Amino acid sequence: MNATGSSPVSPDNPLAEPSGLPFGLPPFGDITPEHCREALLAGMAEQRAEVTAIVGSTEPPTFDNTIVALERSGALLTRAWNVFGNLTSSVSTPRMREIEREIAPLEAAHDDAIRLDPALFARIDAVHDTRHDAGLDDEAVRLVERYHLDFVLAGAGLDVAGRERLTQLNQEISTLSTTFGQNLQLATEAAAISVGDAAELDGLDDEAIAAAATAAADRGGEGYLITLLLPSGQPLLAKLRNRALRQRVFEASLGRASAGDHDNRPVAERIARLRAERARLLGFDTHADVVLADSTARTTAAVDEMLASMVPASVANANAEADILRAVAARDGVELAPWDWAFYSEQVRAERYAVDTTALRPYFELDRVLVDGVFHAAELLYGYTFTPRPDLAGYHPDVRVWEVGDADGRAVGLYLGDFFARDGKRGGAWMSSFVRQSRLLGGQPVVVNNLNVSRAADGQPTLLTLDEVNTLFHEFGHALHGLSSAVTYPRFSGTAVPRDFVEFPSQVNEMWALWPDVLAHYAKHVETGEPLADDAVKAIDAAQLWGEGFATLEYLAATLLDQAWHRITPETEIGDPITFEQRALEAAGVAHPLVPPRYRTTYFQHIFAGGYAAGYYSYIWSEVLDADTVEWFKENGGLRRENGDTFRGRLLSVGGSVDPLAAFRAVRGRDADPMPLLRRRGLAPVA
């Protein structure tokens, strides 16, 4: 038995050794939850033994025998986590959730045992002290600095009592975060709205109605089932004519995980309090201060200045939109309510800008958007090619695999696409990795994109909304970040950059969704093959600013809610978390009766069960860089290989191996200008 109480991994465990499949793709069909559990436990023990050997070395600490040795450690654990972590997000089962609950505190304790080892930190500290005199290249120096900062922020400098308390806090936070995510998944599935009569679905197209029928049938029911996506606003609200059903959907969405068996209110409060205590233990005022110490923003003051500068104009724009919507709703004798906003906003969009988003959907068939849009843009910009690999299996029948090559015919890695919503899959959209690129370990990237698109009925094409098209381009931007990685050390691979920088490349990639040459290549009617009319494209462009008041305000409300939860101290009086939420929104000036936060406390997965605690601001912080970079592309001719090669070579490929803002300056030639973003969101006059 080893230190974790587990036996060594059995030789017939598919995770025991690196996969023999192309690019190290895991052999999903052979892997069971029990294999994952065994490999995780054995992997933790194996890495602890490796770290013990590093610490026990009689040789003076050097870059190679300490830092590089740490980079090489934990291969089994990394392999197991890359599989298990992705599967719990995409194909969760009751058994997997049990294992997740078991492993979470053990993993937190394992991380602490390494990060809080005073002898290990002494070796890292020694290498850090001599880093500029050891003949290291720039990437190696940065690796030493990153390890040192990681350990300092993890509490390596604490005394024995402090380290013990920190370990307790981390284990409880890890356990509670797992509970929050599982509660949310189960609460979201339970909150689906059952509809018995198709007449209640008036306003939805045939494909959406068929999808609702399929969802009901998948659960063994009859009639129709409206399943919920992660944000507060549900896409069907824009089309449902039945106002009572709109209210049911809206209230179900906002009420998720706020009562009953899956109540996340006490879970969220406890997580926030524990993070506040941990921050104080580490010598910071709040958890937000801890997070921002390892960011490009650096300080809470910088975040506050940016957010506060956007609030007044956002509220004014939302109020102006509300006045317009009230007038439209009054024609139906309706006093505008939150569940009416999307419905009447869609009417305004159609009337003022001749944009009927439902009528656009036949032009956005999933495979055509992916292959003739997303992949096509990547080929034009970066020379990448995407070859289907039907011989390689994903972890679910929905998952498809492509081999990625470069313009010279060299193999780059694998891209997996998992686009459909289903039970057992968490909400939202994301990119993740099964294998990260690094020259040190010889890894080539294997990345996956997840979306939650409603599956069409059998034999019918899957049609996307314009928002879903943008989401696909966005998430593929993260995939490009991973696929383009060309670093030595896995610590810097792909998207391993500060939280407030990671969204920047993915936001830039959204620009190609409506780029004329790209749009014309994929936006063709699914039945007739006719291209999307120029008038429709012009209308979409003209309508870009409509709804920005709502969109910006709902985002800012969520961001400021995140900051409120993570600016508390251990002594802060909270009371009921929903009351705390309302007070925080009012204090920030973003409590709008018609515009709820994009995420409320009980389903704010990003900050309570994800990596965005005190960092949800990063989307808009990154968007400053994004909007300015879009201007750079336009100034330099747009969709050109030369531009793509510059962006990839100076920014995407370097991952976290250089200072992120230095990478931005290497592309743009200067620091970011915020004006392009303000104009994009209607917060400043268009030049």
Which whole number is the average pLDDT over 269-297? 97
User: Tens digit of pLDDT for each residue in 450-506?
Assistant: 999 998 988 899 999 999 999 999 999 999 999 999 999 999 999 999 999 999 999
Backbone phi, psi, residue 355, to 5°: -110, 110
Cα dihedral angle (454, 455, 459, 465), rounded to 10 degrees?
A: 30
Amino acid identity at 492 = F
> What pLDDT, on the 0 to 100 scale, is given for residue 161?
97
Burial of 664 (0-12, 13-18, 19+ CB in 10 A): buried
**Mean pLDDT, rounded, of the chain:** 95
Q: Which two structure tokens, joined as six digits, stand for 497?
A: 């950059």
User: Tens digit of pLDDT for each residue in 184-201?
Assistant: 999 999 999 999 999 999
User: Tens digit of pLDDT for each residue in 583-630?
Assistant: 999 999 999 999 999 999 999 999 999 999 999 999 999 999 999 999
Burial pattern 294-307, b for ≥16 Cβ within 10 A else e, equals bbbbeebebbbebb
Q: Give, in order, the Cα–Cα distances in Å from 511 to each of 201, 296, 377, 504.
A: 34, 23, 10, 12
User: Tens digit of pLDDT for each residue in 346-356?
Assistant: 999 999 988 88
Rounded to the nearest 5 percent, the helix, strand and coil shares of the chain are 60, 5, 35
CA 340/CA 240 separation, integer angstroms:
10
The domain at 22-184+264-292 falls in which architecture?
Orthogonal Bundle (1.10)
Which whole number is the average pLDDT over 235-239? 95
475 is known as an active-site residue: yes
Catalytic residue among 50, 346, 365, 475: 475
- The domain segmentation of the chain, as residue ranges, is 22-184+264-292, 191-256, 361-542
User: Tens digit of pLDDT for each residue in 387-417?
Assistant: 999 999 999 999 999 999 999 999 999 999 9
**Sheet containing strand 385-388, strands side by side:** 385-388, 400-405, 411-420, 446-453, 430-435
Evaluate whether 22-184+264-292 and 361-542 have a shared fold. yes
CA 79 remoteness from chain centre: 21
* Residue percentage of the chain with pLDDT more than 90: 93
414 forms bridges with which residues in the sheet? 403, 446
- Cβ distance 193 to 252 under 8 Å? yes
Asked if pLDDT for residue 5 goes beyond 50, the answer is no
User: Tens digit of pLDDT for each residue in 331-372?
Assistant: 999 999 999 999 999 999 999 988 888 889 999 999 999 999
Burial pattern 116-141, b for ≥16 Cβ within 10 A else e, equals bbeebbebbbebbeebeeeebeebbe
- Provide the pairing of β-strand 446-453 with 411-420: parallel
The DSSP 8-state label assigned to residue 432 in this structure reads E
* Residue percentage of the chain with pLDDT more than 70: 99
CA 196/CA 24 separation, integer angstroms:
47
CA 61/CA 124 separation, integer angstroms:
8
CATH class of segment(s) 361-542: mainly alpha
- Sign for the CA dihedral angle at 101, 560, 663, 640 comes to positive
> What pLDDT, on the 0 to 100 scale, is given for residue 1?
37
- Which of 94, 21, 83, 16 has the alpha carbon at shortest distance from 448? 83
Q: Give, in order, the Cα–Cα distances in Å from 146 to each of 24, 131, 157, 428.
A: 27, 12, 16, 30
CA 570 remoteness from chain centre: 29
- Cβ distance 239 to 343 under 8 Å? yes
At 194 the three-state DSSP class reads strand
For 14-57, give the secondary structure using H, E and C. Answer: CCCCCCCCHHHCCCHHHCCHHHHHHHHHHHHHHHHHHHHHHHCC
Residues in the chain: 687
At 687 the three-state DSSP class reads coil
CB neighbour list of residue 548: distance below 8 Å, 6 or more residues apart: 317, 681, 682
> What pLDDT, on the 0 to 100 scale, is given for residue 544?
86
CA 221/CA 194 separation, integer angstroms:
9
Backbone phi, psi, residue 106, to 5°: -70, -40
> What pLDDT, on the 0 to 100 scale, is given for residue 687?
56
Asked if pLDDT for residue 4 goes beyond 60, the answer is no
Asked if pLDDT for residue 19 goes beyond 70, the answer is yes
